[in-house]
Structures are given as C-alpha cells and as structure tokens.
Chains A and B, each alone.
Chain A
Amino acid sequence: MNAPLIGARIARKEDYRFLTGAGQYTDDVTLPRQTHAVFVRSPHAHAKIKSIRKDAALKAPGVLAVYTGEDLAAAKVGGLPCGWLITDVNGQPMKEPPHPCLAQGKARYVGDHVAIVVAETAEQARDAADLVQVDYEPLPAVVDASKARAKGAPQLHDNAPDNTCYVWALGDKAAVDGAFAKAAHVTRLELINNRLVPNAIEPRAANGSYSRAEDSYTLYVANQNPHVERLLMTAFVLGLPEHKVRVVAGDVGGGFGSKIYLYAEDVVVTWASRQLGRPVKWTAERSESYVSDAHGRDHHTIAELALDKDGKFLAMRVQTTANMGAYLSTFASCIPTILYATLLAGQYTTPLIHCEVTAVFTNTAPVDAYRGAGRPEATYVVERLVETAAREMKIDPADLRRRNFITTFPYQTPVALCYDTGNYNATMDAAQKLADVAGYAARKKDSEAKGKLRGIGYAAYIEACGIAPSAVAGSLGARAGLFEAGEIRVHPTGSVTVFTGSHSHGQGHETTFAQVVADRLGMPIENVDIVHGDTSKVLFGMGTYGSRSIAVGGTAIVKALDKIIAKGKKIAAHLMEAAESDVEYDRGEFKVAGTDKKKMFGEVAFAAYVPHNYPHDKLEPGLNENAFYDPANFTFPAGTYICEVEVDRDTGQVRIDRWAAVDDFGKIINPMIVEGQVHGGLVQGIGQALTECCRYDDESGQLVTGSFMDYCIPRADDVPSFKVDTRETPCTHNPLGVKGCGEAGAIGAPAALMNAITDALGVKDLAMPATAQTVWRAMQNRKAA
C-alpha cells in the first residue's frame, strides 16, 4: 500500500530535463533542410502601404522567398478569427474588422506583420529583411482609447465607426442609479489599469513543415492549446482538414496567456513551408515580442460604490473603456466583458451592480488575456473602492469587508455568476494572523522613527476559474466549447500513460496529474507518465488558461480513471469468479467484499491484454479509456492578501516589507507547486503595481517601452519573499474538489499593494505603476496642497 499522493509535496518529474538542458522548446527543434524566417514589420503606427518591392531582398545571399499580404490573398489564406462574439447594448454584433496574416493595404500598429523573408540561415533572413522596400504613406495615429473615440480621431477600420468595437453592459442601470440616490455615502475613483507586456522568458516561436509524401503539415509552436491552434488555423484560415495538420507545443517557456492565441506568424510559416517544400522556422527576438505579442489590461475606469451609513454596500456603478489594440486577438472581446464585469461582486453581497464597457480600436498591439484576464481588472476596481470607502467612512478596512462578506452558499451574484462555496472570513482571519496585523501599529512607529512612511493594504479577491460550462459560455458568445479531454492508457504490465488536453508551460502537470492518477490507482508515481502538447498523441484538448487545468483537465482524467476502474472490476470479477457488484477497488487491488480474494491492478491489466481467460462475450480486450468533461459551473478560488510597504520620503522608493497571502483553492494536490504558482502570480501583480508599464508615444504611436531596459519586469531584488498559506473549502461540483491556483497572485496583488502605498502616502489616487518618480510626485503634490 502506498502513502496518499494527493496533498504531497513531490518534487517535479519534469525538472530533470529542464535542469540538464534537455528541454525541447520550439526553437530547439531543427528539422532536416530547415529554413529560417524573419518578418518585416511596420515601423509606423498607422500607414498606407503603397507598394512593396521584393527584388533586392530576393537577390540577397541565401534568400529563398519573400511573401506579402498580396501573396496570401492570392492563395486565399484567410484572416485571423476572433473566438468570442460580444453583442452590444443595441443587440448588434461587435465590429470584427479583417485581421490579415500579412498586412493588406494598411499597417495599423508598430510591429504589424507586413512581409516574411525566408532564407537558409536566420542571419541571411535578417539581412534581407532590411532590403524589402515598403513604400509607406504614414497616417495620423491614435494610441489612447478615449482619444480614439473623440471626434476627428484617425479611423483604423472602415467598418468600425469611432473606432468602437462594441459598447456592452451588464446589470440593471435604473435600479443601480436608484440605490445611489439613496446612499449615505458614495466613493468614487478613476482608475487606470496599466497596459502590460506578458514577457514569458521564452519568446514566441513557430516552425512549420510540410510533407509532400503525406500531404500533411506539422507545426511546432510555443503555444498553450495546440488543438485550439490547429482548429482555428485549419478551419478558419488555411482551409485545411484537421487530420492533415499536426500541432506540437512541446516544452513551452511560460505563457501567461500570451501563447493562447493563433498568431499570424504561426499561419504564415505553415503556409510558406508548403510553398517552399522545406520547413520554415521563426523565433521572435525580444524586441519583436514587445511589439507583436498580445498585450494585457489597458482599462480606463470610473467606479463608484454606494454604501449605507453602516457601511453596507448598496450598489456599484462601473464605466470602463477598454483598449483592444489595432485588431481583435483570439479571445480579446470576452476579457473586458464576460471575464471582467461578472467578477464585480467580489466577495461581497453588493445587491446591485451595473457595468458598461466600451471597447475601442487603437494603433497599438492587440490586447488579450494576460494572467488573470479581466479578473485582475475587476479585483482592482472592487478592492480599491472598498479600501477607499473604508478610509472615507473611517471604518477599519478589514471590518468593512467583513460586514459585507457573502457567508451563505450557493450565492447568486447580481452579475450572472453563482458561487458554489467559499469561506471569506477564514482566509481573512488567517491572513491577518500571518501578516501580524496586530503588530502593525508598532512597526509603523518604528518606520516613522527612521523617517519612513509605512502603509498597509488589503485585497480580498475572488476569481472565476475552470472555464467553463460550454452551454453557458456559448450563450454568452463563445464560439468554442470549453470542456477538456483525457485518456488513460493502461499498458499490459500495469504502468500508465495519461494523455491530457491541458498543457503545461511551467505549471507542473506532469507531476500534479501523475499524483492524481497514481493516488487513485494506488501505484507509485514512477509508473505514470503524462503526455500533453501534441495533437497527434492527445485525442483533443481545449488547453491551459484561466487556471482551468486541474479543475477541468484533471477532472477529465478522473472521469477516464473511473471508467478504467469500472472495466477493471468487470475483468477482476471474471477472474475471481465473483459478482461484479461485489468487487471493490482499493488502491491497487480489486477485492471481493467480505473475502480475502483479490487481484492486483497489474494482473487485471495483463488479463485485458493477454485475454486467455477473459469474458469475451461481455467485454472488449484492452484497458484504455477516454473522457470528455464539461464542467457544471465555474470554480471560485478566493483569498486575502495583506502587504506592508515602507516609502522613502526623499526618493519615493517603495519597499515591500512583508506580504501575507492566504488562498482558498479548494483541495490541493501538490502544495509545493501551488505555492510556486502563488509566488509567481504575486510577482507579476507586484510588477504591474510597481514597475511595469507599457507606453506608446501619443503622437508617433511608437512603443517607447520596447525592451527589458525600458519595461521593467521585476528582478529578484525588487521583491520580497512571501508568507503564503491556504484554507480549503472544496469545490462542490468536481470530484477532486479543486478550484485552480494559477492566476490568484496576479489578480489580488495590484490592489493590495496600491492600497498599502496610498495608505502610506495618505492619498486617494495614485496611478500604477507606483515608480519612485510617481510616488515622489504624489508626495510633493500632497505637500503643496
């Protein structure tokens, strides 16, 4: 009998290859007769393309081909599709301008893909890219979403007047306005959720290969959902049958959302490989990632909270302008709507909520899901409002939250979601203890004695994970199902290969999922391997995003396991000459209840593959089962983060002194991996609040933060170590009781940190990122006032 594996801190199975340099990332794959591609990108934010001359480039050493938008159009290559239809307040579909894989007629942002150069080596392709002569006629550009809607603003797309993609709303506006009219107190904030660049350390890469012999394609690509990539590329862009295309997303060096999408480069290298009859590889340089990866966030919001005299929340009113960039990326449209407004209840009983979102095209890189995707923006609105209201009403911020916590479940919010379970007081209690809130006053005195300012900030976040019940998503405009698939292949001697449609790009599925399977089957974890990321191996998959892997992908595996055990019982009953209903499975053994008869799992597997003594009249040989799992509801991880900062009065430098995070992720499979996910999420959230800001020049539309030297992702000495802990209220609608943990840190951190900094400074408004300069200015302004 083996010790339980669920809940154990097991070192990761995948680590050995990463630690020895044996990982196989997309750029590590070099195929026979490999060629290399470089994309020619627009240096202008907005320009007419009058002509493109290829001849000089074509004559350069090693160059094999140059293709432009005209070539793709002639070959009837389609544009990139958007996977979610939002219907606007007037019942009209959102505006979906064409998104060609290589620009046609116009470039709409700096970095827009204009041509591809393919050569024998990457250096030759790079040299020749400079020789492609594009005659641009620069046009006025607009990068700010509010300005893009103003009269006289440059227009990006003919079919999107006022650059507006949609105006969308959720909630009962009249009822909300009525509640505000009667409120004892109203807190109002204007909030900017700063645009971010995801910056996975592995740049995007794609290597397309066509086999004339098989008339089939293989695309190696840094991607989070290879089956979705294949579906979108074959059915919507290239018009190919899916069985002729294999997509392999092997080791992927971080995603954070940015590798969910079907990108133009993936399509173009795949298409070009057929034209040339040779594999075509493209790997982004970091400066290219900055201009061409889908960005995150970029909201401008007016938010108001109405309270009664006792601090009970009466209503919330939110108006957001969301910058979509120049085109709609794959899931862009659902991020500032479905994944944002539905989270505005937070952990609270706010009975009335109205949210209106205006999505706007600008001359910037497309914006899509980035770690948290809508939920960090919602949490920032809710938790900055709540903290500010507490200060204005002179109520302790934790106490104000507790007065409004949802305490009975299931709970139907006014913004569509129904929370199945939670215990917000438990995570708040634990976080306050972990943060030693009781000792805060003394620490504040100490800081003051040193001439420093100290502040404390809370964020009590909630997120909707495990996306999603397909029928619900479909009714909200999703053009895809959102289930997950899994397969358990038991080998004749009893070891197991598991195929999952989830994808791991750092999350550790090869360990976590193996723990689940080995635990359920009662076998050593070494006997279980997890396979993911290859459409030719895995039956199907919707992939990894929205913290859905364990809740949806893990459940699909459990459903397949249930079928394995059910079939195993039938085989074991036959072998032991017992009634099937008397056979029980108990961690590695099929037993006949009330007797000492038993068969080991391996014996049953062997009988299934060497079926000499086998119930052939009732059962097929073999032990291999699939399952598709479509969740009944979202899952609702929640928690409380508390941070304390010290601010240098002279320089404005913020130092995070301590950070306590208590999360409720339901059941936890591997606490070590979960803690790692929280640490990483927190630092991305801290990055947003403290150091990261993607800026385009207002006039020229140039990206001015286009490298690690201008756009500061946190370094090790920018951030603290963390105190993290968990509380468990198991999810009620999946068999593992799991909720998901991948995004929590990034969702809760910005609000907690900005609440702490504004507390230290004694100011109400402060824009992210709170760089030393921003903080210093805020202190000077306060002095002046």
Chain B
Amino acid sequence: MSLFLLEIRQLAEIEAMAASKKLITREEWEKKLSDVKIRKEDMNKLVMNFLVTEGYVEAAEKFRMESGTEPDIDLATITDRMAVKKAVQSGNVEDAIEKVNDLNPEILDTNPQLFFHLQQQRLIELIRNGKVEEALEFAQEELAPRGEENQSFLEELERTVALLAFEDVSNCPVGELLDISQRLKTASEVNAAILTSQSHEKDPKLPSLLKMLLCAQNQLDEKAAYPRVNDLSTATLEDPAV
C-alpha cells in the first residue's frame, strides 16, 4: 500500500514540475532570436575555418574569391596536408612519412607518438598484405626498440603483432586494427599534427558551436518548453510539445 502511495506522490511531483516549466511560444522565440545580431564576417570566418581545417582546398579558394575572406594559412599547404592524409588512408604509409618530412621534418622529430603510430600503421599494412616475415623483420628493427623505451608503445606493438597469431583475422579480437577505421584514425592524427605545426587549431570551430547549441538546449529543456532545433542539417525550429 505504501509503495502505491509513493508512486502517486512521485507522479504528482512530475506533473507539478511540468506545470512549473515556462512555456515559450514560437513567436516569442523567433523575436528573441531576431534580437541577436551576428556579423557576416564572423560567419564567413567560421566557414573558412571549417573548409581550411577539413582540407577542402578548392572550396576554400572559391569561397575566398566570392566572400573576400582570407584564410589564416597558405592554401598551398592544405594540398600537401591532404596528400599526406590521403596516402595514409590508402595504406601508403612510407609515402606519407616522406611527405610529412618534406612538409616539415620537425613534426615527426618532436612527436614520437605520431611517428610510432605511423610505423605501427605500416606494420599493419604489411600484415594485411600477408608479408609475415617482412612484417616481423620491420617490427623487430623499427618498433621493438621504441617498445623497450615506452610501455604503452610496447602494449600497442603487442596488440598489432598478435594479428599474426590468427590465420583467419575475422575471428581475431584485435581484428579492428585491419579495419579502414584504423587508417582513418592514424590519418586524423597526422592531420592534427600538421595543423598544430602550422599554429592552427586541429579541430574546426563550427562543430564545437553546434555541440554547444545541443548542450545549451539540453539544459534549457529542464527549465522551459520552447521551439527546439532537433535536426541540425535543416536547423528547423520545432514547436514545443505541450
């Protein structure tokens, strides 16, 4: 009986909370939004930042010409950066390392973790191509010495070499290392390192703003019912559920 009473009390509290939530109509909300002023140049800078960071070099060039917004780095370097990224994504790691060194030799010298991950990716590619003996030789010569110096490198190396214990890697617990996602992860790490070396943020600002929007909406949901943006791709305001 007491449990039943408790349930009723909780329901009553929920209803009271719902009733106490402030309701904001579409008109009110749109008026509030129209009062907020955003400068066109700021918008353009955000778009340019996104295009540059993500490596859309042609789009960035056209956008520069059309909007007059200057990128904060030389667009020619984007082409080089994207070439490195593409090389890693297609499994051509040696070529990628060469290109990074051409771009800026200090990047790999000052970032041992990145260099290790590139070498690890190279080992993965050798294993993928069934070059077992070559893979073991390469790992012994290039990666084992780094593993001796750094415990986390050693553990990653062990995980990678463990691929060789399985003739059928589809049943292998570390089989994800052979997925394309692993290449993308390494490519993303190289991309970030090049951007950092160019004194540029490694992540574009636009996605961060969208995350902040979602976060703010979630917090506001607790206090009010208001027209929400549920679909970021259309940014349509949807009427509050009363």
Chain A partners chain B: no
Taking Cβ atoms with an 8 Å cutoff, the residues of B that contact A are none
Taking Cβ atoms with an 8 Å cutoff, the residues of A that contact B are none
